[in-house]
């Protein structure tokens, strides 16, 4: 085998033209044009009815929106960066993902979080074929493609083709494992730490741990 | 054997659009509202998915947050949090507030404008 193990997956990657250089933690939210639709009115109506009954408050909903936008998307990178620099933490993360995330203040909604580690032999990808189960407390809201029919249908039987669409080309000798999430059990990919990041702070490491790397459709790369 | 409309893993399908198109404002509200309802233990993910799956043939023609919103509606009515009539009345009130034309004629809309 040639090349350093850490650069293994990256071979043939950099020359792939794809547009994941932006910060994929922050999607550009689309504006709502025109009059509100039926479902928008329905959702607001339900919220107001529960507010009137004193069951929830508008502040609780607003706070939750802010957490989904500004807090949750960054937890995943922080957790994996810690795992990269702290072997004992990594062991705890792999043994009981939920408890390890709680140590760092990230409270998972699901019963179990299973962290799956990429190695030179195995690459992991996550999906929820039935719907959109996703470690939201670690990655924010799932991107559009994660919820799409095409991703959910295909990644389970032709993951290499799907990964290629994300610009990720895996050598034939690397085993690809696809993990199907459900309501009680979520997954998080722990990518391999790239060579050239020795001595980096956790914060700097978290900067290359984009959402897509933690779902497993891409691998971390050093900034160009 | 395929028994539910959401069971699509393994079906042939086209290329993946790898761009994240983000969420509309109302989708962010709908998601946060659904999340708060779950935090209050009024419902749970499994129950909402069961309600979504009961959409049957309508499922494939609906967008993601239309499905989740329909599921929340079904479950909250089942649990007696409000009735269908109360929901319809509240929706009419909100429609008027947004000044969306409907059967209600202008005097009400003008009043709702403040």
Residue A10 distance to chain B (closest CA, Å): 19
Token pair recorded at residue A76? 């995943």
In a domain, A122, yes or no: yes
Question: What is the three-state SS of B32-87?
Answer: HHHHHHHHCCCCCHHHHHHHHHCCHHHHHHCCHHHHHHHHHHHHHHHCCCCCHHHH
**Structural domain contains residue A109:** yes
Question: What is the structure's pLDDT at B105?
Answer: 54
Contact (CB<8Å) B90/A49: yes
pLDDT level of residue B56 (50, 70, 90 thresholds): confident
Residues of B within 8 A of A59 (CB-CB) are none
Q: Does A102 reside within a domain?
A: yes
Contact of A81 with A118, CB cutoff 8 Å: no
Which comes out higher in pLDDT, residue B52 or B59? Answer: B52
Please report residues of A whose CB lies closer than 8 A to that of B81. 49-50, 53, 55
Query: Which of A9-13, A62-66, B46-50, B90-94 bottoms out in mean pLDDT, i.e. has the lowest?
Result: A9-13
In a domain, A57, yes or no: no
Q: Does B81 contact A50 at a Cβ distance shorter than 8 Å?
A: yes
Chain B positions touching A44 (Cβ under 8 A) are 26, 29, 94
- The structural domain count of chain A equals 1
Decide: residue B47, CB within 10 A, 0-12 exposed, 13-18 middle, 19+ buried.
middle
B98: pLDDT strictly greater than 90: no
Of A197, A198, A191, nearest to A126 by C-alpha is: A191
Q: Are A79 and A138 in contact (CB under 8 A)?
A: yes
For residues A177 and B36, the answer to whether their CB atoms sit within 8 Å is no
Average the pLDDT over B97-107 and give the result.
62
B44 φ/ψ sector (left φ>0, alpha ψ -120 to 50, else beta): beta
All residue ranges of chain A with pLDDT < 70 are 1-33
For residue A12, tell me if it sits in a domain.
Answer: no
pLDDT at B58: 86
A101 classed as catalytic: no
Q: What is the pLDDT of residue A36?
A: 86
A183 touches chain B (CB under 8 A): yes
Q: What pLDDT was estimated at residue A32?
A: 67
Is pLDDT at B2 greater than 50 in this prediction?
Answer: yes
Pairwise CA distance, residues A35 & B109, whole Å: 15
Residue A152 domain-assigned (yes or no): yes
- Contact between A218 and A204 under an 8 Å Cβ cutoff? The reply is no
B-contacting residues in A 120-149 (Cβ below 8 Å):
127, 129-133, 141, 143-145, 147-149
Mean pLDDT of B46-57: 90
Dist CA B83 CA B80 (whole Å): 7
Using CB atoms, which residue from B18, B23, B76 is nearest to A165?
B18
Residues of A in contact with B19 (CB under 8 A): 19, 144-145
Q: Which pair of tokens denotes residue A1?
A: 């085998």
Rg over CA atoms, chain B: 18
* Inter-chain touch A29–B29, beta carbons under 8 Å: no
Helix or strand holding residue A190 (H, E): strand A185-190
For residue A214, give Cα distances in angstroms to A101, A206, B11, B103: 14, 11, 25, 50
pLDDT at A27: 57
- CATH number of the structural domain spanning residue A158: 3.90.330.10
Bridge partner residues of B110 (DSSP): none
pLDDT at position B93: 95
Look at residue A29 in the predicted model and tell me its pLDDT: 56
Q: Which residues contact B79 (CB under 8 A, 6 or more apart)?
A: B42, B43
Q: For residue A221, is it within any domain?
A: no
Q: Does the beta carbon of A32 lie under 8 angstroms from any beta carbon of chain B? A: yes
Please give the pLDDT value at position B90: 97
pLDDT of residue B102: 54
Mean pLDDT, chain B, integer: 87
Assign residue A199 a region: left if phi > 0, alpha if psi is -120 to 50, beta otherwise?
Answer: left
Determine the straight-line distance between the first and last CA of chain A, rounded to whole angstroms.
26
Rounded CA-CA distance A103/A101 in Å is 5
* Contact status of A58 with chain B (Cβ, < 8 Å): no
Q: What is the DSSP letter of A68?
A: I
How high is the pLDDT of residue B20?
Answer: 93
């Amino acid at each position: 085998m040639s090349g350093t193990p850490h650069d293994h997956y990256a071979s043939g990657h950099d020359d792939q033209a794809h547009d994941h250089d932006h910060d994929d933690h922050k999607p550009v939210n689309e504006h709502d044009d025109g009059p509100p639709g039926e479902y928008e009115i329905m959702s607001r109506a339900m919220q107001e009815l529960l507010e009137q009954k004193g069951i929830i408050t508008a502040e609780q909903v607003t706070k939750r929106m802010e957490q989904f936008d500004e807090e949750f998307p960054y937890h995943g990178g922080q957790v994996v960066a810690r795992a990269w620099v702290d072997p004992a933490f990594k062991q705890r993360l792999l043994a009981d993902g939920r408890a390890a995330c709680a140590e760092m203040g990230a409270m998972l909604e699901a019963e179990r979080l299973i962290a799956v580690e990429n190695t030179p032999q195995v690459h992991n990808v996550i999906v929820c074929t039935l719907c959109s189960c996703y470690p939201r407390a670690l990655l924010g809201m799932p991107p559009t493609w994660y919820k799409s029919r095409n991703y959910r249908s295909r990644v389970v039987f032709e993951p290499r083709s799907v990964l290629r669409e994300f610009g990720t080309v895996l050598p034939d000798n690397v085993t690809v494992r696809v993990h199907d999430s459900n309501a009680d059990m979520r997954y998080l990919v722990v990518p391999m730490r790239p060579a050239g990041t020795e001595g980096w702070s956790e914060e700097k490491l978290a900067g290359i741990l984009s959402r897509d790397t933690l779902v497993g459709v891409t691998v971390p790369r050093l900034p160009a | 054997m395929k028994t539910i409309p959401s069971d699509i893993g393994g079906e042939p399908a086209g290329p993946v659009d790898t761009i994240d198109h983000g969420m509309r404002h109302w989708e962010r509200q709908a998601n946060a509202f659904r999340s708060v309802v779950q935090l209050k233990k009024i419902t749970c993910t499994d129950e909402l998915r069961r309600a979504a799956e009961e959409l049957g043939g309508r499922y494939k023609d609906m967008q993601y947050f239309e499905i989740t919103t329909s599921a929340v509606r079904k479950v909250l009515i089942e649990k007696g949090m409000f009735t269908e009539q109360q929901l319809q009345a509240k929706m009419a009130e909100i429609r008027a507030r947004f000044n969306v034309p409907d059967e209600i004629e202008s005097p009400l809309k003008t009043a709702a404008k403040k």
